[in-house]
Amino acid sequence: MKLMKSYGIFCSRSARFLFFLTAVWLLVQQDLLLAFGHRNFMLPTCGILAVIEISADHWVFGGTCAKGAQGMDYLMSSARGKRVLGYALKGDCLMRLLMDIVVLGGGAVLAAAHGAADPAGILLGTAGMIAATYGVVTLTLVISRHWTILGYSLSAASAGCMVLMGLLLLQGYFPWIGLLSAVLCVPITLLAVKRVLDRMEAGFHDGMEF
């Protein structure tokens, strides 16, 4: 699959294995919280996911929109460079969405297995949480990819987490926010991919001074 092959150029196999271990850890954590009677476990899980995904992006696509981004000159020297980068960015979006579905969807299944009173309501609320988490993280990455300094990326992760927490709290009172988040995920994804490719194109015309 072109998306995953291109994504593998930017994200090593060991890094992908760490993402897998992170997903397993979060699932185990949710199961333990449920076992000890903590029912409001989804909110902190969303926050942890957001911080991890935004921070981890620093080592994958961090700085790709910054001036003089390292490694971009290699891609620009190839006729297929822009296409490969586009596939990689789409693969990144797909991987993050799958991780959100596995971790948060798995949490909903665990809640049902632990005897949740309203499994259907939990699944519906979880769908909104998945959309909100993916949307906020992806939108935050549009900003954080303009920086090459890790501290800035961590600050963006903290800000993204706070925005997500506020959005999820509002979603508890206004369920339609979950549907709106799902609808906005598509244009946000397109924006995240287009922004990096546009900056790459600008660098090509400006001699990498973009």
The pLDDT of residue 114 is: 83
The pLDDT of residue 204 is: 54
The pLDDT of residue 72 is: 67
Rg over CA atoms, the chain: 18
What span, in angstroms and rounded, lies between the C-alpha atoms of 139 and 146?
A: 12
The pLDDT of residue 128 is: 93
| Residue 20 falls inside a structural domain | yes
| Residue 178 falls inside a structural domain | yes
Residue range of the domain that includes 39: 2-205
Spell 176-202 as b/e; 16+ CB within 10 A means b. ebbebbbebbeebbeebbebbbebbee
The pLDDT of residue 206 is: 55
The pLDDT of residue 120 is: 77
How many domains in the chain? 1
Burial classification of residue 60, based on how many CB atoms lie within 10 Å of its CB (0-12 exposed, 13-18 middle, 19 or more buried): middle
| Residue 22 falls inside a structural domain | yes
| Residue 16 falls inside a structural domain | yes
Letter for the amino acid at 178?
G
Question: pLDDT in tens for each of the 210 residues of the chain?
Answer: 788 888 988 888 898 999 999 999 999 999 998 888 877 788 889 999 999 999 999 988 888 888 766 666 666 666 687 888 899 999 999 999 999 999 999 999 998 888 777 777 888 889 999 999 999 999 999 999 988 888 888 899 999 999 999 999 888 888 889 899 999 999 999 999 999 988 887 765 554 444
| Residue 210 falls inside a structural domain | no
pTM of the model as a whole: 0.90
The pLDDT of residue 209 is: 45
Indicate the DSSP class of residue 58.
G
